[in-house]
Amino acid sequence: MTRSTRVLVGALAGMLLVGSASSASSAPDTPRAPAPKGSQRAALVAAAHGVYRSDLGTLEFRSDGTASFSIVNCGFETRGLAQVKLVTDCAQTSNTRISLDGKLTVKDHGYGIQVDATGTTQILDAYIGDTGDLHVGLGDVGYLGRTRRGTVKLPLHDDELTVGNGTCSVRDPFHRQPVVGPCRFLTRDGRQVLRYRGRDPFDSRKTTALGLVYLPKTGLVVAAELEASTFAPSP
């Protein structure tokens, strides 16, 4: 049996937290069954070759099926709805740098690296953007679809977002009632952004405006901090 642990960072700007959200499963990491709708597993497998770099760090995919990730984990500053600036100049500690090295597994929207002999795998969120760029880091990513209607799983915070005709609801495992409110798609800096209401991360008794970036070609919705975490192939 293997254990998968998602590497987490606090969703609040500037908050640093490498956390837990663990689940154990005996299912293999690469199932024989067809991938679920919206899965980017095949595209992420195709991208997992060579070295990628950015201001955040380095991703090295080796030919023997292992990988090494070294990524700054300094949090981010919120600049507006679905607009963030990643922080890269914080003091380097075990909590502000993600360093993983081991056997690589590929998820529907993520990369996992086995970190010990028991099979424990730590997962980073990942996706291929509409222009073919690779994004790896910490943030929600899920498949909504090209109709911009339906239900999408947001695994980082275990939320379930349902997008309807002008109304959205967000359900989480900690509250009996979902947050229901108006929602719409806006244009921000040439990007499509879904604006909806969800629980305030500072006070769960309140709600606040939240935003996810919508990718029309792939039908994905992604957190702005993951959108900003882009890596390019190293020459």
For 201, the domain range is 141-222
Token digits of residue 235: 């020459």
For position 135, what pLDDT does the model report?
A: 98
> What is the spatial distance between Cα 72 and Cα 99, in angstroms, rounded to a whole number?
9
> Do 15 and 50 fall into the same domain?
yes
Q: Is 152 found in the same domain as 135?
A: no
Q: Do 119 and 92 sit in the same domain of this protein?
A: yes
Checking if the pLDDT of 33 tops 60, the result is: yes
Which pLDDT tens digit goes with each residue over 141-177? 999 999 999 999 998 878 999 999 999 999 999 999 9
The pLDDT value recorded for residue 87 is 93
Instruction: Answer whether residue 204 shows pLDDT above 90.
Output: no
Task: Indicate whether 83 and 186 sit together in one domain.
Answer: no
Helices (H), the chain: 41-47, 224-227
Strand partners, 71: 57, 98
Query: What's the CA dihedral at 154, 131, 68, 158 to 10 degrees?
Result: 0
Same-domain check for residues 113 and 152: no
Structural domain total, the chain:
2
How many Cα atoms are found within 13 Å in the side-chain-facing hemisphere of 189? 9
Cβ neighbours, 10 Å, residue 79? 11
C-alpha distance from residue 143 to each of 1, 21, 68, 212 (Å): 28, 20, 27, 12
Pairwise pLDDT comparison (118 vs 9), residue with the higher score:
118
Q: Give the pLDDT mean for 74-84.
A: 92
pLDDT at 16 over 60: no
Looking at the fold, whether 163 and 125 belong to one and the same domain comes out as no
74 with 173, same domain: the answer is no
Kindly report, residue by residue over 186-195, the tens digit of the pLDDT: 999 899 999 9
pLDDT of residue 7: 55
- Residue of higher predicted confidence among 56 and 14: 56
Q: Would you state the pLDDT for residue 63?
A: 96
Spatial distance between the Cα atoms of 44 and 56, rounded to a whole number of angstroms: 19
- Answer yes or no: do 131 and 151 share one domain: no
Integer CA distances (angstroms), 36 to 121, 193, 213, in order: 21, 24, 21
**Quick check: 1 pLDDT over 90?**
no
104 and 91 share a domain? yes
Task: Give the pLDDT band of residue 21 (cuts 50, 70, 90).
Answer: very low
Judgement on whether residues 23 and 45 belong to the same structural domain of the protein: yes
Comparing 31-35, 48-52, 132-136, 224-228, which segment has the lowest mean pLDDT? 31-35
**Residue closest to 54 by CA, chosen among 227, 235, 229, 223:** 229
> pTM for the full model?
0.85
What is 213-226 written as a DSSP string? EEETTTTEEE-HHH
Say if residue 112 is in the same domain as residue 187. no
* Claim to verify: residue 91 and residue 120 sit in the same structural domain: yes
pLDDT confidence of residue 5: 54
Q: Which residues pair with 125 in a beta bridge?
A: 110, 137
At residue 2, the pLDDT reads: 44
Mean pLDDT of the chain, nearest integer: 86
Element (H, E) at 25: strand 22-25
Residue 44's pLDDT is what? 98
